[in-house]
Amino acid sequence: MADRTDGIHTMDFWAKFEKKLIEGSGIADFTRSRESLDGLWNYGIDQYDSCLRNGWYNEHQTDPDGRPLPLDYSFDEWDTIQVPSCWNLQSDKLFLYEGSLVYTRKFSYNADCESERVFIKFGGVNERAAIFLNQTYLGMHRGGSTPFFVEVTQVLKPENRLLVVANNTRRPSNIPMDNTDWFNYGGIYRSVELLRLPATFIRSFEVGLQPDSGFEQIYANLKIDGADSGTAVLKIPELNLTAEIAVIGGIGRAVIPAKPLLWQLDDPKLYDVEIEFGGDILREKIGFREIRVQGSEILLNGKSLFLKGVSAHEDSVANGKAVTEAEIRQVYSLAKEMNCNFMRLAHYPHSESAARIADEVGLLLWEEIPVYWAIEFSNPDTYKNAENQLTELICRDINRASVIIWSIGNENLDEDPRLAFMSGLAGRARSLDPTRLISAACFADGELLKITDRLAEYLDIIGINEYYGWYDPDFTKLPKILANSNPGKPVVITEFGADCRAGLPATGTRDDMFTEDFQLDVYERQIEMLRGISYIKGTSPWIFFDFRCPRRLHPVQNYYNIKGLLTADLRYKKKAFYAMQSYYGGL
């Protein structure tokens, strides 16, 4: 029933719904059969959050005595919107909308068998989502870039209404916070799927090369939901490998002798891997490789590696964050054309397909969570949110050979609460995944002209963002920083760059800001400076292609961050693209 008192009482309805959070819900689902819930959903633009305040999700049509009530909504008569998509690109009136959209659809369900458990997977909803099925509140997910799974077994009926309140309001206490340098897309922008699982199922499984085993062992870890003990069977047919793994307390762990061909950049070999427990079978394609650091070296399969990278946002002109596989493949093929072996996927987890495709094409990845700029580092709930996003990301991509680095954040000042927050995240990442490297994009100290960030102690690779030649025109500081620093660890220059409007006519001098010549000049000086520094083991300049950005109001920018080496439509290569291509080509 629409509660008239909601209008006269202040009500922190978000707090009410946040009492039931959906966290750490990951399920290994790659080859599981699924039913798509994508397609056209009804939607209402709910600027004042009336659905949550007034309980529309209850669908009360009458008062307790059966008299009809006036309703302010009519779900099935609302307009429709495509799921998945960013709402901003679906209608002009939604382009700059920040707030709630109520999404709803109906679907039918027939149980395959009585014991089956059913989950709905949401690949990504920006930024928070309150989920209701058949008038039952199932929980709220925070974090716009990681998947979550909601069990619906007990609530399903033959005919169902699914209702999602998606909200992209920027909040200072969120991850990310209210100020970022990218576009705040909204909506259910990755697929929604229904998964039917047996009563006992494999919730997660992880298979990889056992570190320090001389490439002669693999490890397997799995978690079972629904049963405590038994025996799992791991099979890798191409290696003639069949191994039994004891499951105790729902957990199975084993280290098994095996000599797989290693996953290499020029030969990204993937094996079909199968795991079975109690009749539940999961299949994956897995590459075996080892990544570690030694002194200031990064070693891939024991060999020294320079990360020839570039940073990129998940953004396309046509689809925003809802990028297609074809768009990801196009970006990767352009990165390879620039002679890259590495990409920094900034500043939040990109689509699950990004790492799967990188596994296939042989590209190394840095994956990041949006602990970006001035996060509320002293707020325990903000930490909880960040840790959950990190957990969901690691859980999603744990089997991807391409992913070599978990980045726990970008550009925050070295202050005590931040150190406690970020070192906590580093510890969490290590405990979930001791086989990959931990990094973050940090600042050098602009006054001492030295890398001094205390977070470095907790990182395997120190990422440094610097904009000498652009935000700080005094380029002479860069050589001083490089000479004054002795980090004892590999450093990757995770950002440098300059704005550039493609094709902007230069006036004939190389000092013309925003022109291709100016950007090229910054790149040439950066390359010259960085190439001689022994502890620098990679670069990922900012950025591969121009992207939408509400903070960029200069007419040449026109609401885009134009530091791209390519234009936003990926069609035009700026001059600096060729400078990077020739630098990387010569390494």
| Interface residues toward ligand GCB, by CB under 6 A | 181, 347, 410-411, 465, 495, 542, 561, 563
Q: Which is nearer to ligand GCB, 296 or 465 (CB)?
A: 465
Q: How far is the CB of 576 from ligand GCB (least distance, A)?
A: 14
Q: Which is nearer to ligand GCB, 176 or 252 (CB)?
A: 176
Cis geometry, peptide bond prior to residue 347 (ω within 30 degrees of 0): yes
Q: How far is the CB of 115 from ligand GCB (least distance, A)?
A: 48
Closest CA to 561 of 506, 499, 515: 499
Q: Are the C-beta atoms of residues 181 and 551 closer than 8 Å to each other?
A: yes
Q: How far is the CB of 494 from ligand GCB (least distance, A)?
A: 8
Q: How far is the CB of 580 from ligand GCB (least distance, A)?
A: 17
Q: Which is nearer to ligand GCB, 347 or 489 (CB)?
A: 347
**Amino acid in position 486:** N
Helix axes 516-530, 575-585, angle to 10 degrees: 20
Q: Which is nearer to ligand GCB, 127 or 411 (CB)?
A: 411
Q: How far is the CB of 336 from ligand GCB (least distance, A)?
A: 24
Q: How far is the CB of 347 from ligand GCB (least distance, A)?
A: 6
- CA trace torsion 569, 574, 578, 580 (10° rounding): -80
Rounded-to-integer distance, Cα 502 and Cα 468, Å: 21
Rounded-to-integer distance, Cα 365 and Cα 413, Å: 25
Q: Which is nearer to ligand GCB, 25 or 465 (CB)?
A: 465
DSSP H/E element including 406: strand 403-410
Q: Which two tokens stand for residue 519?
A: 């950007």
DSSP H/E element including 438: strand 437-442
Q: How far is the CB of 10 from ligand GCB (least distance, A)?
A: 36
Q: Which two tokens stand for residue 478?
A: 């860069």
Rounded-to-integer distance, Cα 538 and Cα 405, Å: 13
Q: Which is nearer to ligand GCB, 347 or 575 (CB)?
A: 347
Q: Are the C-beta atoms of residues 518 and 508 closer than 8 Å to each other?
A: no
Give the residue closest to ligand GCB by C-beta. Answer: 181
Q: Which is nearer to ligand GCB, 376 or 466 (CB)?
A: 466
Q: Which is nearer to ligand GCB, 367 or 495 (CB)?
A: 495
Task: Specify which residues 442 forms β-bridges with.
Answer: 464
Q: Which is nearer to ligand GCB, 151 or 181 (CB)?
A: 181
Q: Which is nearer to ligand GCB, 500 or 520 (CB)?
A: 500
Closest CA to 245 of 261, 229, 258, 259: 229
CA angle, corner 495, sides to 491 and 497, nearest 5? 135
Rounded-to-integer distance, Cα 569 and Cα 546, Å: 8
Q: How far is the CB of 39 from ligand GCB (least distance, A)?
A: 34
Q: How far is the CB of 128 from ligand GCB (least distance, A)?
A: 22
How many alpha carbons lie under 13 Å from residue 112 in its C-beta half-sphere?
12
Q: How far is the CB of 374 from ligand GCB (least distance, A)?
A: 12
Rounded-to-integer distance, Cα 579 and Cα 525, Å: 11
- What's the longest Cα–Cα distance across the chain? 81
State the DSSP string of 93-148.
GGTT--SEEEEEEEEE---SSTT-EEEEEES-EESEEEEEETTEEEEEEE-SSS-E
Q: Are the C-beta atoms of residues 449 and 481 closer than 8 Å to each other?
A: yes
Q: How far is the CB of 315 from ligand GCB (least distance, A)?
A: 11
Q: Which is nearer to ligand GCB, 299 or 317 (CB)?
A: 317
Task: Specify which residues 308 forms β-bridges with.
Answer: 539
Phi, psi angles (nearest 5°) of residue 360: -75, -40
Q: Which is nearer to ligand GCB, 421 or 542 (CB)?
A: 542
Task: Specify which residues 150 forms β-bridges with.
Answer: 120
Q: How far is the CB of 522 from ligand GCB (least distance, A)?
A: 12
Q: How far is the CB of 515 from ligand GCB (least distance, A)?
A: 17
Q: Which is nearer to ligand GCB, 163 or 500 (CB)?
A: 500
